[in-house]
Structure 1
Amino acid sequence: MSQSPASAAHGAPAAPAPAAGGVEFTSGSIPRHLVRFAIPMLVGNALQTAYNIVNSIWVGNGLGTGALAAVTVSFPIFFLLMAISGGISQASSILAAQAYGARDHATVRRTLQNATLLNLAVAAGCLVAGHLGADWLLRRMQTPAEVFTLAHGYLQVFLWTTPFMFGLFQLASGLRAVGDSKTPLRFQGWALLATAALDPVLMFGWFGAPRLGLNGAAWATILTQGVALAALARHLLRSRSLVAPDLRGFRFDPAVCWLILKIGVPTMVQQGLVSVGMVVMISLVNGFGTIPAAAFGAAMRIDQFALLPAMTFSMAVSTLSGQNIGAGRFDRVPPVFWWGLVLSCSLTSVATGLAVLAPTWVLRLFTQDMAVLDAGIAYLRIVGPGYLLFTVMFIGTGVVNGAGHTVVTTGISLIGLWLVRLPLAAWLSARLGRVEGVWYGMLAGFAVGMVLSLLYYFSGRWRRPVLAQKP
């Protein structure tokens, strides 16, 4: 039996067996592994999306348009925080998956311990910077005066979720690296359901609770995420999981932290620029008036659900690829890619079919305005086929991410967005004089991203993995 790259690099033989609580993907049926691993993540992502919609309904209908606008204004800041935490968590997950595939459990633990410390340190920095800079940020975003006070107060409270959010992201990513997607779902699902139930209680003062208005939604998130983090950490410690946040014997390793940042920073940059790109895209749409803007808002809700299979199976493909690359089982990576493509495209094709063949039915879930419906139908019929292009792109980048080449996936994403989608959307919409030009720009961006992703995958350059090195 040949040594894995990780073991060979470390000059040590592989450990005899996977750790308790983990799932090894280096042997066995690939489609079965993908389905069993992806389904809990798909359910969790669907719950998160459903919660966002329910929360918008509570805020918009119960507190009014000002409160909904305050949440909307705050969203880019929340997205940036998630991008920062997600970058660190994803980087440590990539390294941990490769080490776990090589059965190098000491490197798995050392990587995740250092990532936890790094994530919490960054969370503390974001918390302080957010509180000090919230006023400046909101003014730079040209927040309307009637919304400013509400948004500022909401942000000041919500920022306290940062350490809990970063901690949960880190533990969930570590669990997925070792093949466990069910445990994160249990705790994530509980937290989302509890938050959805607690939101109206604290917002409207039900059952004798204080009436906190919009800030009640922030307090509900703080409470539930704090409890969820404590419960998950306790569960992992009691079960002696490889991922448990046990700092006994912990040794700060600058080399590991540097490698995490080297892999994670490109992801942070990508997500940050995607957030800015969405602001630019919304600005282009807003230039055509209220009807297209409302249609775009409704259609984006459909996009969220339609693209869930792509994002979920991309994470699954990344983990399976990472473990097999770490174990030196490069022969199993192409089947991971092809099965990921088949499974994700099968689900996405349902959403594409609904978007193209029954757009009115799905849009009526969000609006009854005929003018908005007509604009939304045009969007879905143009962009809907692009869901499949987006899915293919994400499966390809899933393999590339699994090898640790996040600079490449960042480049693919930014080329598709900043060099194709946005310029073409601006040019076509101006040339046509209609908002449909923006929709065609989006479709072209998906197509270019898919082509670049496939070109890099089939080039085989992902076979040079980024592995955590022992000192």
Structure 2
Amino acid sequence: MKQHFGKDLTTGSIPQLLLQFALPILIGNLLSTGYSVINAIWVGNLLGQDAVAAVAVSFPVFLAVVALCSGATLATSILVSKAYGSKDYARIQQIVNNSWSMGIGIILVLMTAGLLLSETLLGWLGTPAEIMPLADGYLKLTLVGSAGMYLSFLVSSILRGIGDTMIPLVCILLSTVLNAVLDPLLILGAGPLPELGLNGAALASLLSSGTALLTGLLYMKRKYKQEPINPTGLALDKSIVGEIVKIGLLSFAQQMLVSMGYGFITVFVTSFSAASIAAFGVASRLDSIAAMPAMAMMMAVSTLTAQSIGAGKPERIKSILKWGILMNIPIILAISAVCVLFPETIMRLFVKEADVIQAGLRYLRIVGAGYLFFIFFYVSNGILNGAGKTLSTLIITLISLCVVRIPLAGLLARTELGLDGVWYAIVISFAVTTLSSLFYYGWGRWAKDIPGREQGTRNQGLGSELS
């Protein structure tokens, strides 16, 4: 077995390493988000308002599935990064084998439960009767596709744990291009392909994610044939499974809170009009695009932090935080400015109906300004995640959503602000997340048990050194 596979992120220029690691992730995340954006464009222009609304009400359930997939695979990435930083290759193999075993079990449960409960879940979200058949069929196919999504997430997380971000990008590029081609063909039907309507959009995503998975597996098998990142068998080691569950479950719970937050907001929005639902469905997807650069930086920060801790170099974390924030500023600022200044142009890319455009326009002007908070809290949360402190980020998310966003949205929606009150509640929750995350990072208690520090420094915490 080689002792130098992957990329060591514990030495060299931190801003250069962050850029090299984050840029492929950013491009990949933008392309991945392209799945939903491409679907939204084709669905909005080919099938109309009802289909857009059906996709919108399904979105919170889809977010819950993504939360489960990314939570478990985030745990794998963190554990692989720490083991790689400490050069413990035998442990990497154990983590990989256990992660694949858990993944197979999770997707079987997820697919079965989702298929049986899709209509019930949509009912809980207040789905109007006239779009229920559309939404139910779309959601069922989306849940079947979750198998490919989970396993492709797992492949990417393992590769990123050893510092390889280029092939996950290639896989996503291939699948996004395929999705863009298949969408209109399966929605409208062409040649031997049947006309599937909205279900065609879901099937296009399913086939595309499967392609990404197969491409990633072939790459790992060929380039890293003798390395410990390919599964050598199924295993369920109690200690490793416990670590994956501990980190992954907390991350899953955090992202589930985000999904539930969108679910509650969807319920509030459905009380206004079908046009409002469609507008929220489009505009909330733009939230994902706006967050992509910050999320890419969060992943880079998390991996650099985990490898630094594994290598006994926690003193690098202060610079990781500083450069992560500085590198976020220009791109997030530009995205926020475009959304605030040109909201109508953006909405017209997705829908044609004037009432939907008007509702989305207000969303982008209000929430778009709040994207500036992404500059800060994604970086500080990335450090906490890299240190394995996912309970901290869970509590921060809990406060932001359950204490602030949901109650405030329900309250403001009943005032003269109406629908705008819901949008203002979202921005205020962004602010609370930022302040909470930066305060906890500066406090330093999260760092007290990091190995490689002198006992006196640990007793004081790393807040003064790293903040």
TM class, shorter-chain normalised? 0.7 to 0.9
Query: Using the alignment, how far apart are the partners of 1:363 and 1:211 within structure 2?
Result: 27
- Is residue 178 from structure 1 mapped to residue 162 from structure 2 by the alignment? yes
Query: Using the alignment, how far apart are the partners of 2:220 and 2:142 within structure 1?
Result: 27
**CA-to-partner distance for each residue in 1:410-439, whole Å, 9 max, x for gaps?**
110121111112222333343444333333
Match for residue 323 of structure 1?
A: 307
Query: Using the alignment, how far apart are the partners of 2:267 and 2:427 within structure 1?
Result: 18
Alpha-carbon shift at residue 461 of structure 1 (Å): 2.5
Letter in 1 for 2:220: L
Q: 1:101, 1:323 within 8 Å by CA — same for their partners in 2?
A: yes
Alpha-carbon shift at residue 147 of structure 1 (Å): 3.1
Match for residue 78 of structure 1?
A: 62
Alpha-carbon shift at residue 139 of structure 1 (Å): 4.0
- Is residue 459 from structure 1 mapped to residue 443 from structure 2 by the alignment? yes
Q: 2:309, 2:450 within 8 Å by CA — same for their partners in 1?
A: no
> How high is the sequence identity, in percent, across the aligned residues?
39
202, 219, 223: which one aligns with 2:207:
223
Query: Using the alignment, how far apart are the partners of 1:41 and 1:446 within structure 2?
Result: 23
Alpha-carbon shift at residue 143 of structure 1 (Å): 3.6
Quick one: structure 1 residues 381 and 132, their matched pair in 2 at CA, closer, same or farther if it must change by over 3 Å? Answer: closer
What is the SS of the residue equivalent to 1:180? coil
Alpha-carbon shift at residue 110 of structure 1 (Å): 1.1
Quick one: structure 1 residues 57 and 255, their matched pair in 2 at CA, closer, same or farther if it must change by over 3 Å? Answer: same
Alpha-carbon shift at residue 176 of structure 1 (Å): 0.9
Gaps of at least 5 residues in structure 1 are: 1-14
Alpha-carbon shift at residue 300 of structure 1 (Å): 2.9
Match for residue 380 of structure 2?
A: 396
133, 136, 144: which one aligns with 1:152:
136
Pairwise CA RMSD: 2.7
Query: Using the alignment, how far apart are the partners of 1:69 and 1:291 within structure 2?
Result: 8
What is the SS of the residue equivalent to 1:384? helix
Query: Using the alignment, how far apart are the partners of 1:112 and 1:420 within structure 2?
Result: 38
Quick one: structure 1 residues 122 and 270, their matched pair in 2 at CA, closer, same or farther if it must change by over 3 Å? Answer: same
Quick one: structure 1 residues 185 and 367, their matched pair in 2 at CA, closer, same or farther if it must change by over 3 Å? Answer: same
Gaps of at least 5 residues in structure 2 are: 452-467
- Is residue 246 from structure 1 mapped to residue 231 from structure 2 by the alignment? yes
- Is residue 303 from structure 1 mapped to residue 287 from structure 2 by the alignment? yes
Alpha-carbon shift at residue 370 of structure 1 (Å): 6.7
Match for residue 333 of structure 1?
A: 317
Query: Using the alignment, how far apart are the partners of 1:235 and 1:456 within structure 2?
Result: 40
Quick one: structure 1 residues 157 and 316, their matched pair in 2 at CA, closer, same or farther if it must change by over 3 Å? Answer: same
TM-score (norm: length of structure 1): 0.87
What is the SS of the residue equivalent to 1:307? helix
Match for residue 29 of structure 1?
A: 13
**CA-to-partner distance for each residue in 1:8-43, whole Å, 9 max, x for gaps?**
xxxxxxx9x8542x1111000111111111111111
Alpha-carbon shift at residue 256 of structure 1 (Å): 0.4
- Is residue 214 from structure 1 mapped to residue 220 from structure 2 by the alignment? no
Alpha-carbon shift at residue 251 of structure 1 (Å): 4.4
Alpha-carbon shift at residue 377 of structure 1 (Å): 5.0
Quick one: structure 1 residues 29 and 358, their matched pair in 2 at CA, closer, same or farther if it must change by over 3 Å? Answer: same
Quick one: structure 1 residues 59 and 363, their matched pair in 2 at CA, closer, same or farther if it must change by over 3 Å? Answer: closer
TM-score (norm: length of structure 2): 0.88
Query: Using the alignment, how far apart are the partners of 2:25 and 2:288 within structure 1?
Result: 15
Match for residue 191 of structure 1?
A: 175
Alpha-carbon shift at residue 211 of structure 1 (Å): 3.0
Quick one: structure 1 residues 50 and 218, their matched pair in 2 at CA, closer, same or farther if it must change by over 3 Å? Answer: closer
- Is residue 134 from structure 1 mapped to residue 118 from structure 2 by the alignment? yes
Match for residue 367 of structure 2?
A: 383
Query: Using the alignment, how far apart are the partners of 2:251 and 2:194 within structure 1?
Result: 40
What is the SS of the residue equivalent to 2:191? helix
**CA-to-partner distance for each residue in 1:289-309, whole Å, 9 max, x for gaps?**
466555544543443322221
**CA-to-partner distance for each residue in 1:439-468, whole Å, 9 max, x for gaps?**
33222211111111011111222325689x
Quick one: structure 1 residues 465 and 323, their matched pair in 2 at CA, closer, same or farther if it must change by over 3 Å? Answer: farther
Quick one: structure 1 residues 142 and 244, their matched pair in 2 at CA, closer, same or farther if it must change by over 3 Å? Answer: same
Letter in 2 for 1:399: I
Match for residue 109 of structure 2?
A: 125
Query: Using the alignment, how far apart are the partners of 1:213 and 1:126 within structure 2?
Result: 25
251, 276, 298: which one aligns with 1:314:
298
